[in-house]
Structure formats: structure tokens, C-alpha cells
Amino acid sequence: MDYQIIPLEIGSITERHIFQCGKKEIKCGMVWKLGSVITHTKPTFLHNYNPDIGICIQDIPGGTVGETYGGEKVIYFSDTVDEDEQNELTDIFYESSKKYSKNYADVFHDLGWKEVSAESYIFGEIEVIELNQNPKLYK
């Protein structure tokens, strides 16, 4: 049996990457307007689930992000990243820099940034639906 975990609020599935370079940090990723998490294992985290905190999808046994819709890229910097560097890194992240042809993660790495974390989260009120593998035939 498969289970689908659906957030009941828009923008409740996120993907976050953290890059560091010395004392500087970038947090970036996607916020999905709609989407779901699929797992083959019945969710057992529900009795401890706090909608304000959510849960890392990697902590849901067998959990993977299902189809997603309406993603929006977001990027944040620590106070230790100066404005000129923020502007360049933002252009790279949003792929508006003609100077680089690789994806942003590869360019960040080439510029000396190390990816220290890559995780996806679901938060807010959620609903769990059992997905029937063999739907009934209706006449």
C-alpha cells in the first residue's frame, strides 16, 4: 500500500540547500505551491508531528517528493556575504548570469562554496491518504 501525504496549505513543501565558504553561508532552494510526499510505509510520525515545525522528508521512511507544481526559487545569505557577492551569487542562482553555463550548485562549488546540507521538508497541516494499488472496476 502506498500513502500520499498532502499539505493543506499552499507553499508547505520546500527543498533547501545550504552552502558554506569560510564564515559565509547561502540558504537556497525551492518552495512548491502544491505537491505531495509519497511513501510505501504507513506514516508513524503523525502522533508526534508539529505543523509549525514540520518534518524532514528524509525522516519519513521511504518518503519521496511526488509531483510538485508552481515552484518558486528562493535564496538567502548570511550577514557575512557582502552585497556585491550576493548580487553575483543571486544572478547565478536565478540563471541570469551569462558568465556561467553550469547549474548553480556546480558554479557555487567552482567558486569555493561547499554544499553542507540538502533536505526537503513538509510542514503545516497535512492529510494522509491511502492509495489503492488496484482500483475497483466500476460498471
pLDDT in tens, 5-58: 999 999 999 999 999 999 999 999 999 999 999 999 999 999 999 999 999 999
At 139, the pLDDT band (50, 70, 90 cuts) reads very low
> How many domains does the chain fold into?
1
* % residues pLDDT > 90 (the chain): 86
pTM above 0.75, yes or no: yes
Adjacent-strand bridge partners of 30: 15, 73
Give the domain extent around 43.
Answer: 2-131
Residue 62 belongs to a domain: yes
The arithmetic mean of pLDDT across residues 61-83, rounded, is 95
Residue 137 belongs to a domain: no
Beta strands in the chain, from DSSP E residues, in sequence order:
2-7, 13-21, 24-39, 55-56, 64-77, 114-122, 126-131
